[in-house]
Amino acid sequence: MKIITFSAIKGGVGKTTLTFNFGEWLSAKGNNVLLIDSDHQCSLTQTYDIYTTEGTIASIFDKSGEAKIIELHKNLSLIPASMDLDSVNNELQTKPNKELLMYMWVADHYNKLKEFDYIIIDTHPDFSTITQNMIAISDFVFSPIEPSEYGFISKTTLELRLKQLKDEVINVQTRESFVTAELKFIGNRIKSNTKSSKEFVEKMMEDSKTIAMIPEREVVNKSTLDHEPLVEMEGETGLSKSNKEFLSKIDKVFEKMSK
Ligand SMILES: Nc1ncnc2c1ncn2[C@@H]1O[C@H](COP(=O)(O)OP(=O)(O)OP(=O)(O)O)[C@@H](O)[C@H]1O
Ligand SMILES: [Mg+2]
């Protein structure tokens, strides 16, 4: 099983879009996938028209009940988010082992969770305790970066914060960190043929942690608006040549991200 958290300090960079589309892609390729929405904006949860207040991810933190794994379709399930996750996050601050509550929940539910080939997690644009909990259970953190000055600043900030978290959340006896996630960057929303986007791509490629580059395309925006994953559009008739090319490029990008 592989656990991947999409995280970025900056908002609107494509975390939810990529969680949704990469998760659906993995599932379409025959993997059993669990999506977890840990953002109190609940965007991913609402993509599936789920508006529940019970059995959400919040119950793992406030012990108000059991988190429910909702089956969305064959090979795809979701633990929904709660609008209360931000206040739950505030209440965690005085709790012991506050970054490892998700870690303990995974250990307690491993028998059920081991049915999944991938767990893909969406987060709020922050480095809150809830987000840290998601990172602590992950093998990888995938961070989408947009071509802007602020995009690069948030890239550096995330690297620093992750390092701090690794240094702090340790087993006091062995001094080994509980946080082992590898950070990977994904350039997203790259406009074609502008000088600044070329510079952005060059700068991103200098970093060995960069694993993918995704262009800015209306069809991506459409997929979130219509709640229709890109992998489902591939089979549609009447697609323009450029959309066909884009979808086959995305296929390769997701293939690489799944490795
Ligand atoms: N490659 C792309 N091309 C075109 N539009 C994109 C692309 N990636 C993301 N978008 C659009 O950008 C908007 C923001 O994306 P998304 O909601 O996934 O960001 P986010 O990082 O989850 O935001 P937040 O931090 O608020 O949760 C959405 O409307 C989405 O459709
Ligand atoms: Mg989002």
What are the pLDDT digits (tens) for 14-60?
999 999 999 999 999 999 999 999 999 999 999 999 999 999 999 99
Pocket test for ligand 1, best of 126, 150, 221, 247 (most atoms within 8 A of CB): 221
> E strands along the chain, which residues?
2-6, 33-37, 70-73, 76-79, 118-122, 140-145, 182-190, 210-215
Q: Give the pLDDT of residue 123.
A: 98
CATH number at residue 87: 3.40.50.300
Q: Whose CA is nearest to atom 14 of ligand 1?
A: 12
pLDDT tens column, 49-104 = 999 999 999 999 998 889 999 999 999 999 999 999 999 999 999 999 999 999 99
Q: Which residue has the higher pLDDT, 234 or 230?
A: 230
Is residue 231 over pLDDT 90? yes
Instruction: Give the pLDDT confidence score for residue 178 in this predicted structure.
Output: 97
pLDDT score at 64: 84
Number of domains making up the chain = 1
Q: Please give the mean pLDDT across all residues of the chain.
A: 95
Q: Is the pLDDT of residue 166 over 80?
A: yes
Which of 156, 192, 189 shows the shortest CA–CA distance to 14? 189
pTM for this entry = 0.97
pLDDT at 255: 97
| Cα 133 to Cα 128: distance, rounded to the nearest angstrom | 9
**pLDDT tens, position by position, 176-202:** 999 999 999 999 999 988 888 889 999
Q: Are 209 and 185 in contact (CB under 8 A)?
A: yes
Q: Which of 209, 220, 163, 153 is nearest to 186 (CA)?
A: 209
CA 41/CA 120 separation, integer angstroms: 17
Does ligand 1 come within 6 angstroms of the Cβ of 11? yes
Does 216 sit in the ligand 1 pocket, CB within 6 Å?
yes
Residue whose Cα lies nearest atom 5 of ligand 1: it is 221
* 14 Cα: distance to centroid of ligand 1 (angstroms): 4
User: Can you read off the two tokens belonging to residue 90?
Assistant: 């505030």
**What's the average model confidence in pLDDT over 196-213?**
93
Percent of the chain with pLDDT over 90: 90
pLDDT of residue 196: 86
Which tokens hold the place of 185?
Answer: 């960057």
Q: Token pair of 8, please?
A: 């970025």
Q: How many CB atoms lie within 10 A of CB 107?
A: 11
Nearest 5°: the CA angle 195, 201, 203 is 100
What integer is the mean pLDDT of 158-166? 97
List the domain range (segments joined by +) for residue 209: 2-257
- For CA atoms 255, 257, 258, 259, give the dihedral sign: positive
Q: Which atom of ligand 1 is nearest to the CA of 221?
A: 31
Q: Show Cβ contacts of residue 91 under 8 Å, excluding neighbours closer than 6 positions.
A: 62
Residue 252, class by beta-carbon neighbours within 10 Å (0-12 exposed, 13-18 middle, 19+ buried)? Answer: exposed
Query: 238: CA distance to ligand 1 center in Å?
Result: 25
pLDDT band at 227 (very low <50, low <70, confident <90, very high): very high
* Whether 76 contacts 116, CB under 8 Å: no
Predicted local distance difference test score (pLDDT) of residue 236: 85
Look-up of token digits 């979130």: 224
Q: Name the pLDDT band for 139 (thresholds 50, 70, 90).
A: very high
**pLDDT at residue 148 in the model:** 84
